[in-house]
Structure 1
Amino acid sequence: MRLTILGGGGFRVPLVYHALLGDRGAGRITEVVLYDTDRTRLGAIGAVLRQQAASTEHPLPPPVVTETTDLDEALRGADFIFSAIRVGGLEGRTIDERVALDLDVLGQETVGAGGIAYGLRTLPVAVRIAQRIAAVAPEAWTINFTNPAGMVTEAMIPILGDRVIGICDSPSGLGRRAALALGVDPSTAFYDYAGLNHLGWLRGLRSGGVDRLPDLLQSDDALSSFEEGRLFSPDWLRSIGSIPNEYLHYYYFARETLAAVQAVRQTRGTFLLEQQSAFYAETGKHPEEALELWQKTRAERESTYGVESREVADAGERDERDMEAGGYEQVALSLMRAIAHNERASLILNVRNRGVLHHLDDDAVVEIPCTVDANGALPVAVSQLTDHQAGLVCSVKAVERSTIEAATTSSRSAALKALAYHPLIDSVTVARSLLDTYVESLPDLAYLRA
């Protein structure tokens, strides 16, 4: 089978290839096509992948890696398409963050103002890619990891239908950590999780027919043993009766997180831009050391993830168990195997709601447990959102849809609504200033200048 990776020069691509190297099953991926607009990045990541293959013992030939900057060539013949593009690069992310912070608004790349700017920049490109997939590889399954993942997936569905499925590693990681804190095998548990991408809650954890989440919420020791328990504090988690996705820290502790981000020398985007620019430059000089350089850079990247939120919560450094492999690349591999081989799997995915969550319409893309087989992903029944959860989810869904409207109709007023509607932006005046500055600073938003 052939897998095409859009954004193939991206830093996290070797995680996907590592997962493919570990797949010994029949009908596994045998060819990987990397597509990117940047040949330098493509070459660097291609070198990492080939060194991964050479350093891994396996009884079967590793997937053959090819690289191209021609989109149609990359798509043609693909069985699966993994989309992980970053329109505007990390340079765009630094602008997303800095513009927001200068107006005393959180600028995280998928949450609030930064996420909206990222969406406005990305959605037109994602729609064009979906159109090319429909024309060149209509039978392929598209797995979307491009952020903001739920928003991008919803924008691609009118073109690709249910053959596009969004993934994220945050919900599965939360479920796994919660299960381990209870001494439960993560692979045997059912996670009652629901919301939107980067805005969801674990409301139940069933093992052996029994919901074990109440036991977890009552144990300070168990809660303090993993990332989310430390981030939100046992008292707050017991108050809300659930465990939020880590990104909800930006909502529940907005003032504290904003102050922490403004206090540091550089934003997360600036850190990653400097770090990854150094990696690609060094790999260009020493391609024979590509894998070693990538591993060193990744270790630093992972250990500093979410540092501002952990400082606010006094959560300390990330635990090694919180950084274990098994993230989005394993979700993608499980999804591909379930579809390709009709191997029934249960995964938390970004799909159409289909009436599962009563506060949202059928076509709203939600993040929810699904049963996956050769027919694709079908959401399963979960408990309904509480008033608090539903209010926040519906508010952010309105933001997502206004962003999609702006991107697909070039509507500046829709872009303003998206910013003004967001719970973390407390003024229409600030929303106008954000939009004006983003349009002036980001060439990819030129379509909103009219």
Structure 2
Amino acid sequence: MRLMIAGGGGFRVPLVYRALCAGSFAGLVHELVLYDVDATRLAAIEAVLRDMPVAEGSRPAVVISTDLDQALTGTDVVFAAIRPGGTAGRVADERVALELGLLGQETTGAGGISYALRSIPRMVELAEAMRTQCPDAWLINFTNPAGMVTEALVPVLGNRVIGICDSAGGLVQRAARAAGSPLPEGKLDGVGYFGLNHLGWLYRLAPAGRNLLPGLLSDEGALRTFEEGRLFGRSLLERLGCLPNEYLYYYYQTAHATEAIRRQSETRGTAIHQQQSSLYPSLVQAPDAYASWDAARRSREEGYLAEARGHGDERDEDDLAGGGYERVALAVMRALAGGGEAQLILNVPNAQVVSSDRNDANVAVPGLPADAVVEVPCVVTPDGALPLAQDPPGGQFLTLMAHVKEVERLTIRAVRDGEREAAIQAFARHPLVGSPTLGRQLLEGYEAAFPELRRLWG
């Protein structure tokens, strides 16, 4: 297969390449095309891949390109992980919100809306180019906010776009291990999970027919062994009766998270921007570019969701082992190519055909529109990703999902139809904002930081 990565100069690209060179995904791809608008970043990542210690003969051929049409021609699968505005844009996504006293996070709240306003237009351009250059190719979308971006692309690519994120699948695996019943890779038997990207809940964990989740939620010792258990604590988890995705920390502990970010000497986006600004130019000439990159990766992973951990707390070694996105994406790709059915939590339209005795509706998540992109367990075959029926969400879960989905759709409409007022309403109605005045101030702040946004409104 020929795989093209849009955003081929991205920091996580070596994780994909490493997975393609060894283990269960070796031999899946014969040619890897790295496409990016930044030739300097491409050269740096090419140096990292060249220095990566892998067995001879296991490397797929690597092609570097800054020409989109050339990169797409003959491609079977596209991975998309782009960040318009770069890491400097991420800093602005965080800072504009923080300066108004709001949560400053790149995918959640105001920062996520700003990111979407920039990423959706570029991703639509990519999808339209795919429809011309490689109409039978699949698009596996990493670009954040993953669910919102994926929903914006469905009108262009239909079921040939699938959104991925590793946070939901990682939660399930960590919980299963803590409950003493680890799940085989690519299997989700007995797992119940519903939500949107970065806004979901594990509500059932019954790999052998018996739900292990209630026992896990009441076991203080077991909860301390994994990230989400420590993050939310037994009291909240027992009240919820489920395990939230780690990003729900920003909803359940908004004031604490915002204050913790404000107390830090620099935002996470600033730290990453500074790291990458010095790292990328050095990689091309580094004596061991891979070692330099891997050290930077570990440092970056250690800072993930640092505001949610106590002073001096560190992430588990398992969390630093490297990524997760790449294994989800390659598992999807392998299943699409006929390498065997896979069960994965993915971002796909809500409409589905597999019902259960708990849900006989014609959608995976009852209460949300059929064409809304949701994050749920799916079965992946060469025909695509089929979402599986989930239990109807309880009131508090459905209310929050519906509220955030409305914001996502306003954001998509703002880009698609050039409606500035829709963008203001998206900011204003987000549950982490909740103010028309702040909604207008946020858009004005982001327009000042990203003048290209004004072109969206004609």
Residue in 2 aligned with 1:181?
178
Where does residue 365 of structure 2 map in the other structure? 357
The answer to whether the 8 A contact 2:7-2:82 is kept is yes
Return the offset for 1:323: 2.8
Does 1:400 pair with 2:408?
yes
Contact 1:100 1:114 survives alignment (8 Å) = yes
Code of the residue aligned with 1:33 in structure 2: it is V
Question: Aligned residue for 2:80?
Answer: 83
8 Å CA contact 2:27–2:60 kept in 1: the answer is: no
On the 8 A contact 1:205/1:212 being kept in 2, the answer is: yes
AA aligned opposite 2:235: D
Shift of 1:384: 1.5
The answer as to whether partners of 1:9 and 1:34 remain within 8 angstroms in 2 is yes
Give 1:444 deviation, angstroms: 2.7
- Paired residue type of 1:305: Y
List alignment gaps of at least 5 residues for structure 2. Answer: 352-362
Pick closer, same or farther for the CA change 1:80–1:444 going to 2, 3 Å. same
Letter in 2 for 1:163: R
Q: Which has the higher helix share?
A: 1
| One-letter amino acid of the counterpart of residue 228, structure 1 | E
For residues 139 and 27 of structure 1, what CA distance do their matches in structure 2 show?
A: 21
Deviations 1:309-333 (A, max 9, x none): 113xx69211112333461110011
In the superposition, the TM-score normalised over structure 1's length comes to 0.96
Tell me: CA distance 1:374–1:27, structure 2 relative to 1, closer, same or farther (3 Å): farther
1:45-70 CA-to-partner distances (Å, cap 9, x unmatched) read 01111222xx2126x44101110000
Residue 288 of structure 1 aligns to a residue whose secondary structure is: coil
Question: How big is the shift at 1:448?
Answer: 4.3
Q: How does 1:297-308 map to 2 (within 5 A)?
A: 297-308=296-307
Deviation of the 1:242 alpha carbon:
0.4
Call closer, same or farther: CA 1:121–1:17 in 2, change over 3 Å.
Answer: same
AA in 2 matched with 1:280 = Y
Runs of 4+ in structure 1 off by over 3 angstroms are 23-27
Counterpart check, 1:380 vs 2:379: no
Q: Aligned letter for 1:379?
A: P
**Equivalent residue for 1:95, pick from 89, 92, 95:** 92
- Structure 1 residue 56 corresponds to structure 2 residue 54: yes
Q: Is 1:203 equivalent to 2:206 in the alignment?
A: no
When the two chains are superposed, the root-mean-square deviation of aligned CA atoms in Å is 1.4
Q: Output the CA distance in 2 between the equivalents of 1:426 and 1:135.
A: 41
CA contact (8 A) 1:144 1:153 kept: yes
1:114 to 111, 120, 136: 111
- Counterparts of 1:313-392 in structure 2, within 5 Å, are 316-325=313-322, 327-354=324-351, 355-392=363-400
How many angstroms does 1:409 deviate by? 1.3
Q: Deviations over 1:273-320 (max 9, x none)?
A: 001111102113x24321011011001001111100113xx6921111
Q: 1:189–1:206: 8 Å Cα contact kept in structure 2?
A: no
Match of 2:101 in 1: 104
Q: Give the SS at the match of 2:126.
A: helix
1:29 alignment partner in structure 2: 29
Distance 1:141 1:274 in 2: 34
Q: Secondary structure at the match of 1:180?
A: helix
Q: Where do 1:132-143 residues align within 5 Å?
A: 132-143=129-140
Unaligned runs of at least 5 residues, structure 1: none
| Aligned-pair identity (%) | 50
Contact 1:189 1:205 in 2 (8 A): no
Distance, in Å, in 1 between the alignment partners of 2:232 and 2:34 is 39
Deviations 1:241-291 (A, max 9, x none): 00000000000000011111111111111000001111102113x243210
Secondary structure of the 2:206 match is: strand
Residue 414 of structure 1 is aligned with which of 411, 417, 422? 422
> Structure 1 counterpart of 2:383, which letter?
N
Bigger Cα displacement from structure 2, 106-115 vs 184-193: 184-193
Q: Distance in 1 between matches of 2:312 and 2:152?
A: 36
Q: Which whole-Å CA distance do the structure 2 matches of 1:68 and 1:295 have between them?
A: 24
Give the 3 Å change call, closer, same or farther, for CA 78–448 of structure 1 in structure 2. closer
CA distance in 2, matches of 1:426, 1:316: 32
In 1, Cα distance between the equivalents of 2:19 and 2:283? 22
Aligned-partner Cα distance in 2 for 1:130–1:168: 19
2:431 is paired with a residue of what secondary structure?
A: coil
Matched, 1:73 2:49: no
SS at match of 2:309: helix
Cα pair 1:96 1:109 within 8 Å, conserved:
yes
CA contact 1:230–1:315 (8 Å) conserved in 2: no
Separation in 2, partners of 1:437, 1:449? 16
Report the residue type matching 1:57 in the other structure. Answer: A
Structure 2 residue identity aligned to 1:327 = G
TM-score in terms of structure 2 length? 0.94
- SS of the residue 1:202 aligns to: strand
Rounded Cα–Cα distance in structure 1 between residues aligned with 2:452 and 2:146: 19
Counterpart in the other structure of 1:220: 220
SS at match of 1:433: helix
Code of the aligned partner of 2:55: E
8 Å contact from structure 1 (residues 107, 115) kept in 2 = no
1: CA distance between counterparts of 2:12 and 2:159? 26
Code of the residue aligned with 1:292 in structure 2: it is A
Q: For the Cα contact (< 8 Å) 1:350–1:368, is it kept in 2? A: yes
Across the two proteins, how many residue pairs are aligned to each other? 444
The one-letter code of the counterpart of 1:56 is V
SS at match of 1:186: coil
CA distance in structure 1 between the aligned counterparts of 2:26 and 2:227, rounded to whole angstroms: 36
Q: Which residue of the partner structure matches residue 360 of structure 2? A: none
- What secondary structure, in the 3-state scheme, does the structure 2 residue paired with 1:234 have? helix
- State the match for 1:123 in structure 2: 120
